[in-house]
Amino acid sequence: MKASGFPYVIPMLLLSVAFFATPLAVLVGFSFIGPEGLSLHNYARFLGDAFNYRVLINTAKLGLQTIVSTTLLGVPIALLYWHSGKTARQIIIFLTLIPMLTSNVVRTFAWIVILGRQGPISETFVALGLAERPFSLMSTELGLVMAMCQIDLPLIILPLVAILSRIPVTYTEAAQVSGAGPWRILVTVLLPMMLPGLLAGWILVFASTSASFVTQAVIGGARNVYVPQLIYREVGTLFDWPMASAIAVVLLLSTGILLVAMTMISRHRRLVGHA
């Protein structure tokens, strides 16, 4: 029995149980506190409200839109990495890490500049005659998706690059020698191998969009409301903690179900196909 390491783990384990698991359990308990004792009152009130329901749908929609757009931009970057030499590969990694490690508030601020009435997009459109007057993409869903896509892009690039860096060039060379064109190699060799990385990336992106409070609040504006803002409103202005807890549990459950589903798909794929 080789258990001599366990004492070293105890402090972090205690920290996890006392300061992480316990608060979560209390949060779940709190969500059942209604006006007359324990009940599903908060859940019924939250899900019964048409506005809240729409917010929940919008949050899921924002997550899916971000997943699609990050995939559309992330896969070409991963392919660029695949076809690059050693130095270019290092540069691509560096360029991916800089935005990833830059503060979220800073990236959100950059998008305020870009999307604003006096920003580069509006100025370019006016200069090219595509728009008559300067316009702002702030407080629009399109602007928010553009920003979220850039902010979460590294989360999908890094898992893809991690996979591609381990694949020997001989794999595609074999396909090439057998007479496959580049598109065919992409569809039959590269994309299937990238699939586990894509699934890992999608999970990270979805988890990130369902929690990026600042970007949603600042760029989405008052017209586009998402679940994290609802939670903050219940706590910060309405002081209804049981209600906030119930919304938090709904957020956790809905993201949790999606994440489990995605993980199961990725396991299944791996069993059926490659690797």
Which residues does 112 contact at the CB level (< 8 Å), separation at least 6?
138, 218, 219
Q: What SS3 state is found at 38?
A: strand
Nearer to another protein, 188 or 273 (CB): 188
Nearest to 60 by CA among 226, 204, 189, 201: 226
Contact in structure between 172 and 185 (CB atoms under 8 Å): yes
Q: Does the footprint of another protein cover residue 68 (CB under 8 A)?
A: no
Q: Does the footprint of another protein cover residue 213 (CB under 8 A)?
A: yes
Where does this chain touch another protein (CB under 8 A) — which range of 38-46, 47-55, 151-159, 194-202?
A: 151-159
Where does this chain touch another protein (CB under 8 A) — which range of 37-45, 54-62, 102-110, 162-170?
A: 102-110
Where does this chain touch another protein (CB under 8 A) — which range of 42-50, 60-68, 158-166, 246-254?
A: 246-254
Helix axes 104-115, 141-164, angle to 10 degrees: 130
Q: Does the footprint of another protein cover residue 106 (CB under 8 A)?
A: yes
Query: Judged by CB under 8 A, which of 34, 52, 64, 79 binds another protein?
Result: 79
Shortest distance (Å) from residue 217 CB to another protein:
8
Task: Quote the distance between the C-alpha of residue 101 and its chain's center.
Answer: 15
Q: Does the footprint of another protein cover residue 30 (CB under 8 A)?
A: yes
Nearer to another protein, 195 or 248 (CB): 248
Nearer to another protein, 106 or 169 (CB): 106
Contact in structure between 180 and 154 (CB atoms under 8 Å): no
Shortest distance (Å) from residue 153 CB to another protein:
5
Task: Quote the distance between the C-alpha of residue 197 and its chain's center.
Answer: 14
Contact in structure between 82 and 95 (CB atoms under 8 Å): no
Q: Does the footprint of another protein cover residue 264 (CB under 8 A)?
A: no
Task: Quote the distance between the C-alpha of residue 189 and its chain's center.
Answer: 26
Where does this chain touch another protein (CB under 8 A) — which range of 41-49, 56-64, 76-84, 192-200?
A: 76-84
Interface with another protein: number of residues (CB under 8 A): 87
Task: Quote the distance between the C-alpha of residue 62 and its chain's center.
Answer: 10
Tally of CB atoms within 10 A around 204:
19
Query: Judged by CB under 8 A, which of 67, 164, 248, 258 binds another protein?
Result: 248
